[in-house]
Amino acid sequence: MIIEISIAVIAFAVVIFVIFAIRSLISVNKTLESVDKTLNDLKGKAEAAVEESTHTLAETRMLVEDIRQKSKQTDQIFHSVSEVGETIQGVSTSISKNAELHKDRLANVIALVGAGLDLTQKWRKDRHTQGKQTANGRNLK
């Protein structure tokens, strides 16, 4: 009889264990279903993020290439501007040397031009004065 009671207690304990095990397994199953749903949602979002990142990376590469091309074009422009600057500097140096060599001649030419302008002004003034005198002389007669 002790064996029968022991078997009954063991059977009862096994039944209670099975009931709690089933409840725990149901809870674990619900948790796993929730995790599965979350992972599926994350998978879709991750795929969208990867696609967007790939698109952004492609655009970034195009922008970098565009910047490289424009930088090369700008380098050519700066090189051309540098050459123009060197040419202008050479012309300026040449003009300065020629001006230094012909300084005396230029001074004489400038003096002659100044004298010519003075003579022209004096001649115009004299003509103007003579014109007034002639006009006044006619009025007096």
Secondary structure, 3-state, 69-135: HHHHHHHHHHHHHHHHHHHHHHHHHHHHHHHHHCHHHHHHHHHHHHHHHHHHHHHHHHHHHHHHHHH
* The pLDDT value given to residue 80: 86
* The pLDDT value given to residue 141: 44
Averaged over successive runs of 10 residues, the pLDDT of the chain (141 residues) comes to 94 96 96 94 90 95 94 86 90 85 81 90 87 63 44
- Model-wide pTM > 0.85: no
